[in-house]
Amino acid sequence: MSNQLPIIGITMGDATGVGPEIIVKSLTHDIVFKQCRPLVIGDARRLEEANAIVGAGMKVRRIRDASEAHAQPGTIDCIDLDLIPDGLPFGKLSAVAGDAAYQYIARAVELAQARKIDAICTAPLNKEALHAGGHKYPGHTELLAELTGVPEVSMMLVAPQLRVIHVTTHIGIIDAIRKIEPGLVQRTIERGNATLMKAGIERPRIGVCGINPHAGENGLFGYGEEEEKIVPAIAILQARGLDITGPLPADTLFYRAGRGDFDLVVAMYHDQGHGPVKVLGLEAGVNITVGLEVIRTSVDHGTAFDIAGKGIADERSLLEALRQGAELADRRT
């Protein structure tokens, strides 16, 4: 195993969800250790419980600092915060687990800012538990933005044959429409364009969704939101030479993106972008926070309380998130 591989800090997420299980399962794959040096920030006892549940036969190794990580197949290196009490039930909302999920992220950000890890990869947290634990954030994206001191970031979902960046995310649809304005649309597109260029796409082809059905159909639907909130941003960026088309009806745009017409789709609100990605399969989707000074990737699914603790959670989304985190870290280097 090369010491030149990037160190990926894997936060354990909500300890009562599937995070511990998918982490253990992922680290049974030798390919992970050929892509990166994985380091879990979480609770060692909970990982040992998950190890027993899934029958992985892994060894959990407690360490205090990233410099102590060995990153050897068969062993899980864990910076052990020791926050989860013995016997905490899987699949049940817990304020203790919600607070712990926050603490894992906070420690990972400290490590990333100190350049002790090269990227952060997050297992899922539960927003209700996070709030119950005293941390009032809509989700990982907003939490990471505040911890890193970045005023504005974007959520990008990546699935086979589809990349989607969101203008708004965890707010209600009425609030989302109110929040969308040309400056925000422009900055979101710029962040997405820059990310794809860093990933090796020289001139990304970007398709922009409308807000209303049929992208307003020239004023037949809605109250001119496309012309007021989206068109000015597109015009500015087209004048700068970006390859942008829109606003387009979301239903046809996603179809065209899936067949390869676009490198990136700009969705206006949460479900407009998440729906098509999740139809393609939760096991293949990855969430990337765009605009942070640190690299962050994540699974594109939740804590799955209904199956947590049963050993049946699918680790493929985490495997892909680790792969993409390592790739982004390599490109930054």
Domain ranges of the chain: 1-151+291-333, 161-279
User: How many whole angstroms from its chain centre is CA 319?
Assistant: 13
Q: How far, in Å, CA of 90 to CA of 129, rounded?
A: 13
CB 92 within 8 A of CB 308: no
Place of tokens 């729906």: 275
Q: Are strands 154-159 and 162-166 parallel, antiparallel or unpaired?
A: antiparallel
CATH architecture of 161-279: 3-Layer(aba) Sandwich (3.40)
State the average pLDDT for the chain. Answer: 94
Q: CA-CA distance, 71 to 69, in Å (whole number)?
A: 6
Biggest distance spanned by C-alpha atoms of the chain: 63
Lowest mean pLDDT among 58-72, 98-112, 267-281, 294-308: 267-281
Band of the pLDDT at 283, cuts 50, 70, 90? Answer: low
Among 24, 67, 68, 29, CA closest to 42: 24
Fold of 1-151+291-333: Isopropylmalate Dehydrogenase (3.40.718)
- Look at the alpha carbons of 181, 182, 183, 188 in this order and tell me if their dihedral is positive or negative: positive
Answer whether residue 282 shows pLDDT above 70.
no
pLDDT in tens, 17-60: 999 999 999 999 999 999 999 999 999 999 999 999 999 999 99
pLDDT digits (tens, 9 = 90+) for 159-213: 888 999 999 998 999 999 999 999 999 999 999 999 999 888 999 999 999 999 9
Alpha-carbon distance of 294 to 201, in angstroms, equals: 21
| Beta-ladder partners of 5 | none
What are the structure tokens assigned to 45, written together? 């006892």
Do domains 1-151+291-333 and 161-279 share one topology? The answer is: yes
* Whether the Cβ atoms of residue 298 and residue 156 lie closer than 8 Å to each other: no
